[in-house]
């Protein structure tokens, strides 16, 4: 089964607006992986570096209703410490190489809560938070590309202080339409 790349679907082919819910990487971490994404990810300039919480979906709700539902679910959610560590991939299911986040119960629970709040089926059995570094790499080049990438990916951590609702513009570049700040722990 070929992996369906949601980011490449044509905007005009939809009846409803498309959105995703994501944690955008801080600028300093984005700068670490930007040269890698530019080299190995054909979509690097269409979507900022991020961890996806809710994969792209079509929304039947008006924007204010959608943001209200997400805002209600995020109310009281504290900032989340995220640790990025190893390199991973989703071959043979999907042609993606990524910077994997360490197991994170807060991210995982938020992922499932958001899907539940939006009344959508969870698309994968297991939630594996990650930042895509490379995609559309042929299977015979996966190890070569991973070897090139691994030396650039140190163990890093950051505090996710916000969650963003993102959507594609007509030029297919994804932008934030709403930022939901997370609560600072007391």
Q: Show the CA angle centred on residue 182, arms to residues 23 and 158, nearest 5°.
A: 50
- Strand pairing partners for 24? 50
Structure tokens at 154: 């140190």
Q: Which residue out of 10, 16, 50, 111 is catalytically annotated? A: 50
Do the Cβ atoms of 181 and 159 come closer than 8 Å?
no
**Does residue 16 carry a catalytic annotation?**
no
The catalytic position among 10, 16, 111, 130 is 130
* d(C-alpha 3, C-alpha 40), whole Å: 17
The 3-state DSSP class for residue 162 equals strand
Active-site residues: which are they?
Answer: 50, 130
């Amino acid at each position: 089964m070929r992996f369906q790349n949601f980011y490449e679907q044509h905007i005009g082919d939809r009846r409803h607006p498309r959105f995703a819910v994501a944690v955008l990487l801080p600028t300093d971490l984005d700068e670490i992986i930007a040269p890698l994404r530019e080299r190995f990810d054909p979509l690097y300039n269409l979507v900022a570096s991020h961890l996806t919480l809710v994969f792209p979906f079509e929304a039947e709700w008006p924007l204010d209703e959608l943001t209200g539902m997400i805002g209600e679910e995020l109310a009281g959610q504290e900032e989340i410490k995220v640790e990025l560590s190893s390199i991973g991939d989703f071959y043979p299911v999907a042609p993606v190489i990524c910077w994997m986040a360490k197991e994170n119960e807060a991210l995982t629970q938020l992922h499932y809560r958001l899907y539940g709040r939006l009344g959508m089926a969870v698309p994968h059995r297991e939630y594996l938070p990650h930042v895509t570094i490379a995609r559309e790499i042929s299977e015979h080049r996966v190890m070569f590309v991973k070897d090139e990438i691994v030396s650039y990916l140190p163990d890093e951590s950051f505090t996710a202080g916000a969650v963003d609702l993102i959507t594609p513009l007509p030029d297919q570049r994804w932008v934030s339409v709403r930022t939901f700040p997370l609560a600072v722990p007391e």
